[in-house]
Structure 1
Amino acid sequence: MTSRFTELAVDCHDPESLAAFWREVLDFKVIDRNEVKVEIGSWVPTVEDVRARQMSPTLLFIRVPEARTVKNRLHLGVSPIDGSTDDEVTRLLGLGATKTDAGQDPDRSWVVMADPEGNEFCVLRTLAPQSTL
């Protein structure tokens, strides 16, 4: 018996707005929505695909009334694929992210940021071919 990691749920105040931010960050599409949630992903999951192999999970943004009160215990890590880490940080700042201090080591090789609702995430090393940097 086994399970698959199929989605990551994010509590938020404005699912449409937060999903729009993450769609731009990850180049995902909306695959489902209603008045309280928006689901985005790089593919439209089917039961057959999920059973056959592990695929990238979708992100599900769900409206909740309460605000975030403490540091995230779980966060996303993103790696640029066609530019430098610094270039990606600049792009994400333009989309509405902010740099944040989560008590990280000052000699780190990643950048800690927050999405428009304050959820921390990390921009990791670039995966771009060195010839394009």
Structure 2
Amino acid sequence: MVSQITQWTLDVRDTDRMAEFWSRVLGYRVEKGDDGCAKLYPPDDAPPGTLTVWLQRVDASKAGKNRNHPDLNPTDGDVEAEVERLLALGARHTDVGQTDADPFVVLADPEGNEFCVLRNRTREV
């Protein structure tokens, strides 16, 4: 038996702000819970197995570099246009030690959580 990753969970301080950001980044719909958390669901026409996102409300601020993060691929393949769109939504460039030769752009969401926009469909090793 093996397991499959079905959800990405992110601790957040401002659930509303982060639900707005990540739902617009991914094109997901938001369902807010009574507990201060929110679940983001992919569109109905998304491929089977598409991850959901759980935004878990916490009081603690983010400290240090994330130990894991999502890697995104623009659906139309236009990395530069997607990076500009994400910056307009509230992302910012951040430095985690990457170089200009790396096949990805590193950004951070409004609370500083890092994520990558891949220049290729899969990360090259």
Aligned match of 1:3: 3
Structure 1 32/65 Cα, relative in aligned 2: closer, same or farther at 3 Å? Answer: closer
Q: 4-13 vs 59-68, which deviates more?
A: 4-13
- In structure 1, give the amino acid aligned to 2:112: G
**1:1-133 paired onto structure 2 within 5 Å:** 1-42=1-42, 55-125=49-119
Segments of 5+ residues of structure 1 without an aligned counterpart are: 45-53, 128-133
Structure 1 92/2 Cα, relative in aligned 2: closer, same or farther at 3 Å? Answer: same
TM-score with structure 2 setting the length: 0.85
2-structure distance, mates of 1:56, 1:81: 14
RMSD: 1.9
Q: Give the number of the structure whose alpha-carbon radius of gyration is greater.
A: 1
Structure 1 5/32 Cα, relative in aligned 2: closer, same or farther at 3 Å? Answer: farther
Segments of 5+ residues of structure 2 without an aligned counterpart are: none
Q: Cα deviations across residues 18-56 of structure 1 (Å, max 9, x unaligned)?
A: 011011011011245223200002158xxxxxxxxx611
Determine which structure has the larger helix proportion and give its number.
Answer: 1
Of all paired residues, the percent bearing the same amino acid is 40
Structure 1 18/88 Cα, relative in aligned 2: closer, same or farther at 3 Å? Answer: same
Aligned match of 1:49: none
2-structure distance, mates of 1:63, 1:19: 11
2-structure distance, mates of 1:126, 1:29: 26
- In structure 2, give the amino acid aligned to 1:121: F
- In structure 2, give the amino acid aligned to 1:29: R
CA contact (8 A) 1:80 1:126 kept: no
> How far did 1:107 drift?
1.0
Structure 1 runs of 4+ off > 6 angstroms? none
Three-state SS of the structure 1 residue aligned to 2:84 is helix
Structure 1 4/43 Cα, relative in aligned 2: closer, same or farther at 3 Å? Answer: farther
2-structure distance, mates of 1:83, 1:22: 19
